[in-house]
Amino acid sequence: MEFFSDVPEGQERTVLNEHTLYFYEGWIYDLWFDKLTVKPEVMAAILDTVSLGEPKPNPTTLPYEIGELPQGYDAAVTAEGNIRIDNLQGKVGFVTSYPIPEGVYDPNDGAYLWLEDVGVPDLEDPNLYVAGVFSWKESNSCSLTVEDDAQNPTVKRTHYFQVAGNTLYDFWLDDLAVDEVTRSAIQKAVVYQEPVMQQPGTASESEMSEEEIAFAKAQAVMMGLQDVPALIQTECRYQNTPEKDYIETFCYDS
């Protein structure tokens, strides 16, 4: 597809862009060239090296990384920035977030009744009830199952909640659409990454020193590795003097 400036005959165009568009799972991916500055053979060579792989959900949209899902399942980011998990029959899982109203979250509430005040549709639906609360691993995460009141439930979903700051993150699976083995595999593939929260009053990057910026970046990496065994080596330099170089090794075990 070409876009170009409309100029009188005899005058040179100032805009001549060629777009190559890829469509996948509701998203359009756009690779374009300025044909006034890029030679045709260069364009052709670049296009020969470009292929649309299997796009993964944008990790900056929600603090989740999607690993390898079971065969026949895939994940896609919706237009609203949520993550949808599908098989050939349709949606079987979803990841979204809800703002927590001020003063609602209560980590000491053993019944977790505060979840009803966040606005999660399944917890507001009078036709559904909480069938069980499971495995609160720590004060800011839990899982619970909701289902209808039928003898053989027609609705049964398990929600895996995470709290970060004033946000509730909700990853749920349709228990009636996936068997136990598949559900376990999807759970392992959908990995929550604790977002790095900027504290009130924290200086913006433009106001931070080089050391503060480096520390913030390192902290973000370590937050992502907090549940993964890791071996990290850092090469330290002092005024670019080779004989002053040394290496520090840190070992982390989850």
The pLDDT, as a whole number, for residue 235 is: 63
The one-character DSSP state at 7 is -
- Cβ neighbours around 147 below 10 Å, total: 20
Helix (H, G, I), strand (E, B) or coil at 92: strand
- CA distance to 13, 19, 37, 48, 107, per residue, from 34 (Å): 12, 9, 6, 17, 55
Question: CA Rg, the chain, in Å?
Answer: 25
**Both structure tokens of 154:** 């027609």
Phi, psi of 210 (to 5 degrees): -60, -35
Reported as a single tens digit per residue, the pLDDT across 73-82 is: 999 988 888 9
Instruction: Report the distance separating Cα 25 and Cα 54, nearest Å.
Output: 10
Using alpha carbons, select from 48, 50, 83 the residue that is nearest to residue 69.
83
Q: Is the dihedral of CA 33, 34, 40, 45 positive or negative?
A: negative
**End-to-end CA distance of the chain, in Å?**
50
Q: Above 50 in pLDDT, residue 59?
A: no
Task: Residue 157: count other Cβ atoms within 10 Å of its Cβ.
Answer: 21
Amino acid at 106: D
Distance in angstroms (rounded) separating the CA atoms of residues 219 and 254: 16
Lowest mean pLDDT among 139-153, 163-177, 185-199: 185-199
Chain length of the chain: 254
* pLDDT, tens digit, 9 for 90 and up, residues 218-252: 776 666 555 555 566 666 655 555 555 666 666 65
CB count, 10 Å around CB of 152? 7
pLDDT over 50 at 191, yes or no:
yes
Q: Which of 60-74, 109-123, 137-151 has the least mean pLDDT?
A: 137-151
Give the pLDDT score at 226: 55
Q: How far is CA 231 from the centre of its chain?
A: 25
- Kindly list the structural domains of the chain, giving each domain's residue range(s) and its CATH number in brackets, ordered by start: 2-49 (no CATH), 64-192 (3.40.1000.10), 205-252 (no CATH)
pTM of the model: 0.56
Q: Name which residue leads in pLDDT, 204 or 66.
A: 66
Cα(81)–Cα(252) distance, rounded to whole angstroms?
A: 33
